[in-house]
Structure 1
Amino acid sequence: MQESEIGSSVPLHVEERSADPPADVSIITPMYNAEAWLEDCLTSVFQQDFDGVLEVSVYNDGSTDGSVGIIQRWKPKLEDRGIRVILGGHDIQRPRGVGYAKNQAIRQSTGRYLCFLDSDDIMMPQRVRLQYEAARHLPENIIGCRVRREPDGATERYTRWINSLTPDQLGTQVFTSHGPTVIMPTWFCSREWFCYVGQFVEDGQGTPEDLLFFYDHLRKGGGVHRVDECLLQYRYHQHAATHSVTEETIWKNRVQFLEERVLEHWPSFTIWNAGKQGRKLYRSLAPRNRDKVVAFCDVDANKISKGFYTFEESEERPKPRIPVLHFTETKPPFIICVKLDLTGGGFEDNLRSLNLTEGEDYYHFS
């Protein structure tokens, strides 16, 4: 692997710090108007039981509240605990975005390993230690962990998905609407690997910088591993940056990655779901991959009774008529556009009845 530079288009202002040797782990914390959560976040940094050299690298992305003052008050307390504090920021009036702030926090840090921590989240005391141990044995992996959601019950299905994926599904369910199979606030990886993959996209608000990095990580042969302990309290609130990313932006990137990683290698396939989502996927595919769709399948008698779906094409291409069949009348491989955990187990039972292998006979795109 050859490290790449993490550059900057805006002057970086960093408090002076001594020329200490590199830290073992840098906690990477982008910050924008986080005063409501910072006390809890920094308390969790202070309580880490890691016995190596630890630093927290905070990049202030133009906060207008009291966030910077909270960091400055915490700095001597953390340093007395042996945790270095690096605080950087810019003088531009508007925020540059999460991708930019993460890149800058990494650029100003020194650690051989990077532990990502959003300023509104809370780590369990053993998080750095356990993920550091895993990352040392898996240098080309993104290491995640299980989480608990705050407030309790928020995004219940999503949280269950995060925590219940099997080791194999961490690699196969990368096309779903949930995003990365280990969520960004739990990421831990080596600096060398991060720089080999590249930096986060810096296109500002509305960019799924974590998903784009995750896909590049997989393209370059990276793996995904989860420490199967709850090591992070993951906050859900209306000001979270994730709410600025539109579903359509996520959809386009997912389709592109699915085509690249799976559909280019399949001569034909069936779309499991003859409803809205299945038809949307069909229309979103490149023409060469639409031509590979041999059928839609479903359990809905009304949809099956239609017999065919006919789609508009250009004047140069005839209207394709795609059969609509019961799932028992079709053959793999499948792209599944049915959401998991929504049918009281009915869909899951149907899928299991076919004795298929995920990642070979089917992929989820739901």
Structure 2
Amino acid sequence: MTDLTEKGVKVREAYRFLRLASTTVKNQALKAIADSIDMNRGEILDANSLDVLQARNREIKESLIDRLALTEKRIDGMIQACHDVAALPDPVGEIETTWVQKDGLRISRERVPIGAIGMIYESRPNVTVDASILALKSGNSVLLKGGSDAINSNRAIVQAIKRALKTVGLPGGCVELIEDISRDCVMEMLKMREYLSLIIPRGGSSLIQFVVNNSTVPVIETGTGNCHIFVDYNADLSKAVAIIDNAKTQRPGTCNAVETVLVHEKIAGKFLPMMKETLSRKNVELRGCERSRQFAEMIPATEEDYETEFLDLILAVKVVNDVKEAIEHIERYSSHHSESILTEDYSNARYFLKAVDSAAVYVNASTRFTDGGEFGFGSEIGISTQKLHARGPFGLRELTSYKYTVMGDYQVRE
């Protein structure tokens, strides 16, 4: 039996235990994890410093190192996430609806855990905590496969989680980490139908497509974020600049950062120089269409630029005739993650909300809000860009399925 198979057995057996655990025990586990992360924060930060150093030695770009790096504040965020998820209602056992058939059968639809879940992700050690606590609260075990760049951080975090699980009597197999960083290991994991009920990939488009194309285990995609903001003809220009600045520069390496700005032709001459001035101070490189370059200095944009999730201080720009052309551009290039319109036109706002086919659609707000914590879900396991079962921030409820329970009085079907 390989090491990966052993871990598969552990998470499968742990799920059989965990799905019967009470809400009280699960919440005790989350609070114990918070305490353990706090007690072991020095060890976690030291391990993360090694990962960051190795990433810099490989000349990884800073926006991606930002996704990898942990700070005292981010450790505090992990701890708070544990408490936030513990405070959420437990979806397991929830009766969604009940009815009585004419033959007297009482049928109910009840929320249940999905099973043992495989999580494949890149960078961002906080995902290790988010995936673990959401899985535990929803009664699922989880097999984690993080990226090689965060292996030391993930190892330290999972060790802290396992210490906490032991204190509340839950099996260590509730959370398992694969430490083999080879691609062959990923391929083996994708074939573990005997042990895993679901695979969730979280990362770049190449990782997600590899998982989708090779997995024999059901997959829910947490998609890439080629996000757009459209600045309409009557938008408040100063506020629009501030929103774009936030959406691009606050954390450019995240999937909800804006990658393309579309500008109505009526305000392009005034707006683009304003945007250029602000973003230049943040070292943002603008890549614009021919029309946009008439109003501000930019690098010529290519077709590939409009298709790209940069995850960097790079922004594609295009001038459009109206809201309909903006939506056509989004429909062509978007990854269906998050899009926003900045406008004072109510009709255009309603049309944009209805016509744009993405997981999160905004009016007069930054795309950076597409996040489980910001949506009140406590945390998230990713942002789903598909439509089956889960869409948008993938939180606690989305980690459950349902079953029908039927109460009878010795009826037989005629």
- TM-score under structure 1 normalisation? 0.30
Considering Cα pairs closer than 8 Å and 6+ residues apart, tell me whether 1 or 2 has the greater RCO: 2
- TM-score, normalised to structure 2, is 0.27
